[in-house]
């Protein structure tokens, strides 16, 4: 049953993509590029935030180790 539901969902998505391609016509490539670019910007910003957070945690851990060694 799960496979059938997944198949149905993917068929609906494919049908929607075909309808959008017909409606958009020549402008479809521009909208696709805009969508992919927007997703990439969001993902790159999220990765940058995660890296900054990891660097801050590492710096805090190193500072704590240095302070523990001095006592």
Up-side HSE of residue 52: CA atoms within 13 Å toward CB? 6
With tokens 């940058």, the residue in question is 48
Alpha carbon distance 51, 58 (integer Å): 10
Token readout for 46 is 């999220």
pLDDT at 15: 93
pLDDT at 49: 96
Token readout for 54 is 């990891």
Output the pTM of the full model: 0.56
Structural domain count, the chain: 1
Q: What is the pLDDT of residues 9-61, one digit of tens each?
A: 999 999 998 898 888 888 878 888 898 999 999 999 999 999 999 999 999 99
With tokens 């490539």, the residue in question is 29
pLDDT at 31: 84
Task: Residue 9: give the domain boundaries.
Answer: 2-70
pLDDT at 30: 86
Alpha carbon distance 35, 12 (integer Å): 20
The pLDDT confidence band at residue 70, using thresholds 50, 70 and 90, is low
């Amino acid at each position: 049953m799960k496979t059938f539901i997944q198949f149905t969902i993917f068929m609906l998505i494919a049908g929607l993509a075909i309808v959008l391609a017909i409606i958009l016509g020549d402008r479809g490539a521009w909208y696709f590029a805009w969508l992919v670019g927007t997703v990439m910007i969001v993902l790159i910003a999220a990765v940058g935030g995660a890296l900054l957070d990891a660097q801050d945690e590492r710096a805090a851990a190193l500072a704590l180790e240095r302070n523990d060694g001095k006592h």
